[in-house]
Structure 1
Amino acid sequence: MFNRFIFIICFLPLGLFAQKSSTSTVKQAQKSYNQAVSYLTNNQIDLAIIDFKKAIDLDNRFLAAYQQLGDIQRKSGNYAEARINYTKILEIDSEFYPLTHFYLAESELNTGDYSKAITHFESYLGFPEISATSIEKTGKYLLDCQFSLKGIEKPVPFEPKNIGQAINTAEDEYLPVVTADEETIIFTRQANRNEDFYTSKRANEIWEKATYLSNNINSPDYNEGAQNISPDGKYLFFTACNRPEGLGRCDIYLSKKEGNNWSEPFNIGEPINTSGWESQPSISADGKTLYFVSTRKGGFGGYDIWSAELNADGSWNSPVNLGPNINTKYDETSPFIHSDDESLYFSSNGWPGFGNKDLFISRKIQNTENKTDWTRPVNLGYPINTHSEESGLSISHDGEKAFFSSKKEGGFGKLDIYYFELPKELRPRNVSYVKGMVFDKINNLKLNAHIQINDLSTGKMVFDDFTELEDGKFLASLVNGKNYGLTVRREGYLFYSHNFLLDNMEKNEAFLLEIPLQKIEIGKIVVLNNIFFNTNKFDLLPESKIELEQIVQFLNENPTLNIEIGGHTDNIGDDETNLTLSKNRAKTVFEYLINQNIRANRLSFKGFGETNPISDNKTEDGRKLNRRTEFKITNK
């Protein structure tokens, strides 16, 4: 519905017109015009349009009627029709109303006629006594036009494809987000003025027919929209407006997937939600940083992008504005932080663009004070961006595909969901993911287990969650260029460790793991995959600390257990040297545990040299597996 205040403001300046220009000598035309103004004052926009058109039909030089009709059309986004009426005014009297030049130029900008827009913006600046605010905004629009003319000359590759009728219908479908494995998509569908979430699964590269997401989230009385899903598909952040428990007009909510359904959503509360307007959440891959849009105080313009960090106790820190390299005095919306935790895609009408809102990318950096900052945004280019509004972009985990919504010829209805291959220079940093299933080694029963993944160089936790109750599965995103240690724990079982050495990886790759857990029994062995030594050395490398702390925690949780630490080598070198090296490595771990207050009578160590290989020593991969540290349960 149109805003009544907008149209009253539109009408008031006409009192400044010269009397001979704002009225008609045709009595019936003036009557229709007066009736239209009455409708406009009462927010009866459709009726006002009819009578303004009647007035023009009766007097085709009725400038005030053209002006009012053009203003209504421009305010409602019908720029093509607005251009016709504004152009007619200037043909009759180019000095009738200075702002007509500005409004015509604005309409030309928003229909992609940049050269003509420049002409009329410049003619507007030629009028005397223009306010500083108007001069500033006109200058901004001129930059947009100049940017657009250059941008059109250097188009970027863009071949959008409809995602298909399993998802798109005759209704509006928009705001798509996909999980890291691209096997699940969640999107918004609007039908009968009600917005709800729908989802689809992909099997053998084919999307299944979309289904209603959940009665726990969707509601018949309120709209749900602007959603974002964590890479593993387990956490859904979304926006809901005007709910009874809301703190403001629109708040951010969270729901967790529980089996085949979703939990009852809850308002994430202060300090993220306020009495104002918070919306359009996007969660980082590690689940610890939430990006969102807000109109709260302390911003740069109307809508700004903010972020907040999650504390260990589940509360959120006070939100921080992303600053002047992202936000402008205009509007920034639709943030999407990629799984690389570095590439932020968003929509803005403040940075130079092709008209209305454009899509941009900015990269996270460390500034000279070693604080987080952002690079100056880069426009995604033409024809990804056009004179129309572009927003609501999401990027696949591998960074190769972008998903968006648009109303195009050949679609299935109104807004449809499309995807396209993202130009390489606009892609995020390479990322990988690990997808695993945890089960009992003896009976194959799927297990609910605690999964932790750490950056081995910094010790920072990048994933901390539990597997699904029903199927023991988990999925975690990993940024390339780093090395990670994974630990799987469950009460009554030996822990499991694995590592992902991605420091030299230059492409996206998925790691699929089947993880058998062993119950705690005498004689069972745990291979410590994240204990590291330099070649032919027995000093522990710093990257080993995470694994060593896991051993300490395991022994403290099971105070009656005794273990034997074993060192092993490959068959390179002589037997005696390998035996000594393996014994010294096992002893180093033994001494570390004692220094962590593990009683010495619970521990023993032994070097096995090359005598107990678990793989073929003929290959480097095999020798790597044989060079290992492990422990064995010796007493319960």
Structure 2
Amino acid sequence: MRFCLFLCFSFLSFCVFAQNSGNKKAQNAFENAGAAIQKQDFAGAEQLLKTAVESDPLFQNAFIVLAGVYKIQRKYPEAKGAYQKAILINKNVKPEVTFGLAETEFATQDYTKAKQDFEAFLALDASSDRAKKAKKYLLDCDFAISAVKKPVKYSPTNLGPGVNTTDAEYFPALTADGETLIFTRQVNGNEDFWTSQFKNNTWGQATPLSAKINTARYNEGAQTISPDGKYLFFTGCNRPDGLGRCDIYVSHREGKDWGEPYNVGKPVNSEYWESQPAISPDGRTLYFISNRPGGSGGYDIWKSTITDDAKWGPAVNLGPDINTAYDENTPFLHVDGKTLYFSSDGWPGFGNKDIYYSRMDDSGKWQKPINIGYPINSFDDESGLVVSADGNFGLFSSNLKNGFGAQDIYSFGIPEQARPAKVTYVKGIVRDKDTKKTIESNVQVVDLKTNKTVFDDYTDPETGEFLAVMPIGSDYLFNVNAEGYLFYSENFELKAADINKPYQIEVAIEKIKQGGNVTLRNIFFDTNKFNLLPASIRELDLLIDFLHQNESVNIEIQGHTDNVGDDKLNEKLSFNRANAVYDYLIKNQIDAKRLTFKGFGASKPIADNKTELGRKNNRRTSFVITKI
């Protein structure tokens, strides 16, 4: 009699042809196990199959099916033992049994033996879909054999009862200052966002994010938050305004609450599946997962960049530098803007999905992904990693032992070699200089080395707060402007690698009035020279914008020096530098009747000339309002 048992999971996708056991009890248990498997009662099937092999220790096919049931339940050591016993009974087994044994050897970190058995399988079957998997496993074996010899430090810490519960918590998202955590919690099958604040060195009791975002009818998940905590991009599925099964949505923070979310729309979303967004630190490029046509495999990482007309541009696949013929998911772009973390089952690893990182070079090309290492990665799925702004620790979700529930959020130290570039940030509030009231204003941060805008957004309309990230290794223009006010100019020198503290500032800007004075801290000249350096252009263009927006305003451009050297030479130098600014404005269509210029030499210091910092502050270009 031939008994064909079809198992519904991919772990046991092959068909087992079994002769009857000579033991009636064993045969009955085996057939009843088949019925249990069809009902997906794998625990029950396991017990019945154990009865079968105990009743008939030579019942080879019962051992084979038992091994498959163990695999479905992720009991890999037991599965390996069952396969080994089956082969001991009779070495002439189907190739898929050899494949199953090799998989369980791989899952139990017996990589050398797994490699031998995958090679043995390929000698029998070199063209099936399972053969393709075996070839991928061989690459994984070679990688794993090497990687386990060089383990990285790994000591995950549960975030505690403020965040984790008996329910499942996952998909963490963190603001750049490390103070706000947003995550997904699943309660009774419904996914919603929750948030927790980090105070006194612990995560506070989490609360639901917002009734405007969380819904009882739909699931919300797979979110990312902008570094300043003002924009939340997330995944919504099966919604009335959806373009496909799952789409990406965005909500903007409004004071202490969030605004109504809206569908990002085409070309980011499509009739296919879009999920797991990740926003760049400048807020201009959105990375996401999609299974749309034109990719490298099933699910790929794509990106869309905001165009000059403030619309999302065409979706662009990251290509074979990142994507594989398999699946990639959970992208996370660090606030350095150059380090991408993601999960994949296509690059060499420990099986299933591992976490990888890739760095962008100066040409904008992503380098070959690197496995973050063992034991962070394992035979289980690892995904959903986010990394703190300082690069020291990461957050992820897992079902590790001794947790609070089915899945908890943990933190762990990022290995040194996997850390992103160093960054810092400027965080503050913009106020009216006279009334002290907070002001909604535009904040810009420009990398003077590359002339690229790294931040351009408005302060919170209710609180006046802002947060802008700045990678260490360059100098930055920092500008604040608001309608009816003089703009604020600052320069941050971040070339030193030892900078590790953020800047906390309170910006006080004053209304446009006669006599108002602004120091232009991003106007640069070589020592004892008066030719404008290229890094000065962005600040000058901001001054031009200010004059265009306030056409009734006249200004006097003023040059100043420190007290080093001859007074007359300093006065001449300051005059020539003010003249250079004047000439640039005239050249760019500012009416000469609105402008005057003057050099004051060292006669109007704003700091003590006895210190280098004081002398540096005294060497400046400024302007004064002469008419409004």
Q: Distance in 2 between matches of 1:43 and 1:167?
A: 33
Which of 256, 259, 283 is residue 255 of structure 2 equivalent to?
259
Q: Tell me whether 1:203 sits opposite 2:203 in the alignment.
A: no
SS at match of 1:432: strand
Which of 366, 372, 376 is residue 380 of structure 1 equivalent to?
372
Alpha-carbon deviation of 1:147?
2.1
- Write the mapping of 1:136-175 to structure 2, written as runs, cut at 5 A: 136-175=132-171
Note the aligned Cα RMSD (angstroms).
Answer: 2.4
Q: Distance in 2 between matches of 1:473 and 1:130?
A: 62
Q: Match for residue 360 of structure 2?
A: 364
Q: Match for residue 117 of structure 2?
A: 120
Q: Distance in 2 between matches of 1:11 and 1:411?
A: 31
Are the aligned partners of 2:560 and 2:604 in contact in 1 as well (CA < 8 Å)? yes
Are the structure 2 counterparts of residues 278 and 122 from structure 1 closer, same or farther at C-alpha, using a change threshold of 3 Å? same
Are the aligned partners of 1:480 and 1:506 in contact in 2 as well (CA < 8 Å)? no
Which of 326, 343, 348 is residue 344 of structure 2 equivalent to?
348
Q: Tell me whether 1:106 sits opposite 2:107 in the alignment.
A: no
Are the aligned partners of 1:430 and 1:506 in contact in 2 as well (CA < 8 Å)? no
Are the aligned partners of 1:40 and 1:48 in contact in 2 as well (CA < 8 Å)? yes
- Write the mapping of 1:66-465 to structure 2, written as runs, cut at 5 A: 66-75=63-72, 77-127=74-124, 129-131=125-127, 133-366=129-362, 370=363, 372-465=364-457
- When structure 1 is superposed on structure 2, of 53-62 and 590-599 the one drifting more is 53-62
Are the structure 2 counterparts of residues 222 and 442 from structure 1 closer, same or farther at C-alpha, using a change threshold of 3 Å? same
Alpha-carbon deviation of 1:78?
4.1
Give the residue type in structure 1 aligned to 2:420. Answer: P
Q: Tell me whether 1:514 sits opposite 2:506 in the alignment.
A: yes
Q: Distance in 1 between matches of 2:190 and 2:209?
A: 14
Are the aligned partners of 2:422 and 2:471 in contact in 1 as well (CA < 8 Å)? yes
Alpha-carbon deviation of 1:113?
2.9
SS at match of 1:373: coil
Give the residue type in structure 2 aligned to 1:302. Answer: G
Identity of aligned residues (%): 50
Are the structure 2 counterparts of residues 8 and 423 from structure 1 closer, same or farther at C-alpha, using a change threshold of 3 Å? closer
Q: Distance in 2 between matches of 1:200 and 1:169?
A: 13
Alpha-carbon deviation of 1:606?
1.2
Q: Match for residue 611 of structure 1?
A: 603
Q: Tell me whether 1:571 sits opposite 2:581 in the alignment.
A: no
Are the structure 2 counterparts of residues 53 and 316 from structure 1 closer, same or farther at C-alpha, using a change threshold of 3 Å? farther
Give the residue type in structure 2 aligned to 1:516. Answer: A
SS at match of 1:7: coil
Are the aligned partners of 2:29 and 2:51 in contact in 1 as well (CA < 8 Å)? yes
Alpha-carbon deviation of 1:434?
0.9
Are the structure 2 counterparts of residues 614 and 88 from structure 1 closer, same or farther at C-alpha, using a change threshold of 3 Å? same
Are the structure 2 counterparts of residues 6 and 606 from structure 1 closer, same or farther at C-alpha, using a change threshold of 3 Å? farther
Give the residue type in structure 2 aligned to 1:491. Answer: E
- Write the mapping of 1:470-481 to structure 2, written as runs, cut at 5 A: 470-481=462-473
SS at match of 1:291: strand
1:302-348, CA deviations, whole angstroms, 9 ceiling, x for partnerless residues? 22222221213332222222222222222222211111111111112
Uncovered stretches (5+) of structure 1, i.e. residues with no partner: none
Q: Distance in 1 between matches of 2:231 and 2:523?
A: 33
Q: Tell me whether 1:14 sits opposite 2:15 in the alignment.
A: yes
SS at match of 1:365: coil
Are the structure 2 counterparts of residues 381 and 315 from structure 1 closer, same or farther at C-alpha, using a change threshold of 3 Å? same
Q: Distance in 2 between matches of 1:62 and 1:194?
A: 45
Q: What is the total number of aligned residue pairs between the two structures?
A: 624
Alpha-carbon deviation of 1:515?
0.5
Q: Match for residue 532 of structure 1?
A: 524
Q: Distance in 1 between matches of 2:49 and 2:377?
A: 34
Which of 597, 620, 627 is residue 612 of structure 2 equivalent to?
620
Are the structure 2 counterparts of residues 445 and 359 from structure 1 closer, same or farther at C-alpha, using a change threshold of 3 Å? same
Q: Distance in 2 between matches of 1:138 and 1:258?
A: 52
Q: Tell me whether 1:589 sits opposite 2:581 in the alignment.
A: yes
Q: Match for residue 544 of structure 1?
A: 536
Are the structure 2 counterparts of residues 210 and 301 from structure 1 closer, same or farther at C-alpha, using a change threshold of 3 Å? same
Q: Distance in 1 between matches of 2:36 and 2:413?
A: 49
1:452-492, CA deviations, whole angstroms, 9 ceiling, x for partnerless residues? 12222443222111111222110011112222212111111
Q: Distance in 2 between matches of 1:266 and 1:48?
A: 47
1:558-614, CA deviations, whole angstroms, 9 ceiling, x for partnerless residues? 111111111111101111111111111111212222222222221111111111100
Q: Distance in 2 between matches of 1:345 and 1:543?
A: 33
TM-score w.r.t. the length of structure 1 is: 0.92
Are the aligned partners of 2:223 and 2:235 in contact in 1 as well (CA < 8 Å)? yes
Are the structure 2 counterparts of residues 277 and 209 from structure 1 closer, same or farther at C-alpha, using a change threshold of 3 Å? same
Uncovered stretches (5+) of structure 2, i.e. residues with no partner: none
Are the aligned partners of 2:7 and 2:13 in contact in 1 as well (CA < 8 Å)? no
Are the aligned partners of 1:254 and 1:267 in contact in 2 as well (CA < 8 Å)? yes
Alpha-carbon deviation of 1:156?
1.4
Are the aligned partners of 2:11 and 2:71 in contact in 1 as well (CA < 8 Å)? no
Are the aligned partners of 1:14 and 1:22 in contact in 2 as well (CA < 8 Å)? no
1:24-76, CA deviations, whole angstroms, 9 ceiling, x for partnerless residues? 34456545545554565566766666665665565454444443443344345
TM-score w.r.t. the length of structure 2 is: 0.93
